Amino acid sequence: MPKRTMIEAIREAMDVMMERDDKVVVFGQDVGFFGGVFRCTEGLQRKYGAARCFDTPISESGIVGVAVGMGAYGLRPVVEIQFADYVYPAYDQIVSEAARLRFRSAGDYTAPMVIRMPCGGGIFGAQTHSQSPEAVFTHVAGLQTIIPSNPYDAKGLLISAIENDDPVIFLEPKRLYNGPFNGHYDQPVVPWSKHELSETPEGYYSIPIGKAAIRRQGSAVTVLAYGTMVYVAEAAVAETGIDAEVIDLRSLVPLDIDTITASVAKTGRCVIVHEATRLSGFGTQLAAEVQERCFYHLEAPILRVTGWDTPYPHAHEWDYFPGPERVGRALLQVMEA
Residues acting as catalytic residues: 129
Partners of 80 in the β-ladder: 28, 116
d(C-alpha 19, C-alpha 296), whole Å: 51
Question: Pseudo-torsion of CA 301, 304, 305, 306, nearest 10°?
Answer: -160
Residues facing 94 on adjacent strands: none
- DSSP notation for 6-54: HHHHHHHHHHHHHHH-TTEEEEETT-SSS--TTSTTTTHHHHH-TTTEE
Q: In this structure, what are the phi and psi dihedrals at residue 323, rounded to the nearest 5 degrees?
A: -85, 180
Q: How far apart are CA 128 and CA 63, in angstroms?
A: 19
